Amino acid sequence: MAKQSSILGASIWMLVISTLLFWLPAIGPLIGGIVGGKKAGSVGNAILAAILPAVIVGVGLGIAGSALTGVPLLGAVAGAGAGMAVLTQVGPLLLGAIIGAIL
């Protein structure tokens, strides 16, 4: 029986587990990455599954910030700041995804 792998499914697993383990600053995303990496199947899919949600959240926050403030430049700055905060969690998540895919 072939093992099914999905980038979207792996991303959802990573997001849910990282969110539930938010109180463990580096360990929570690492555990989420390991589980999502195993679900992704390959290292390439695991890397994409770890980075894609961070990019989507960063762009979404930039668009929401622009729409809510009415000043596009202010929204872009706020979105960039929030995007950087999101990217700080990608490091352990990415490392966990690579480890999970190798396992």
Residues 65 and 76: beta-carbon distance below 8 Å: yes
Q: What is the distance in angstroms between the CA of the first residue and the CA of the last residue of the chain?
A: 18
Place of tokens 């979404």: 60
For residue range 33-81, what is the model confidence (pLDDT) as tens digits? 999 999 998 999 999 999 887 788 777 877 887 888 777 888 778 877 8
The Cβ of residue 94 has, within 10 Å, a number of other Cβ atoms equal to 21
Nearest to 85 by CA among 45, 25, 24: 25
pTM value is 0.77
Dihedral sign (CA 38, 40, 45, 47): negative
